[in-house]
Amino acid sequence: RISQGMHLLDFLNPWLHSTARVGLNDITSDSNPGCNTDGFPAIVGWDPMCPTRLVFVLFLF
């Protein structure tokens, strides 16, 4: 992958989302405000703290 100019884990996020569809809901509205900012908006298909990423992070530790 490196010799092809790709990062080692580029495949991981799409794979996690494709294998973890059951039991997880896409967060499609609101945001995570904090530190005097509006935070990151959640929209269809992308949000910064989706359950898949959180579960994966907890799995690492």
pLDDT digits (tens, 9 = 90+) for 7-58: 777 677 677 666 655 555 666 777 767 778 877 777 776 655 555 555 555 5
Q: Could you give the 3-state DSSP secondary structure of residue 27?
A: coil
Q: What is the structure's pLDDT at 46?
A: 64
Closest to 48 in 3D by CA, of 38, 61, 37, 39: 39
CA distance 48 to 27: 10
Residue type, 54: L
Closest to 47 in 3D by CA, of 35, 34, 30, 60: 30
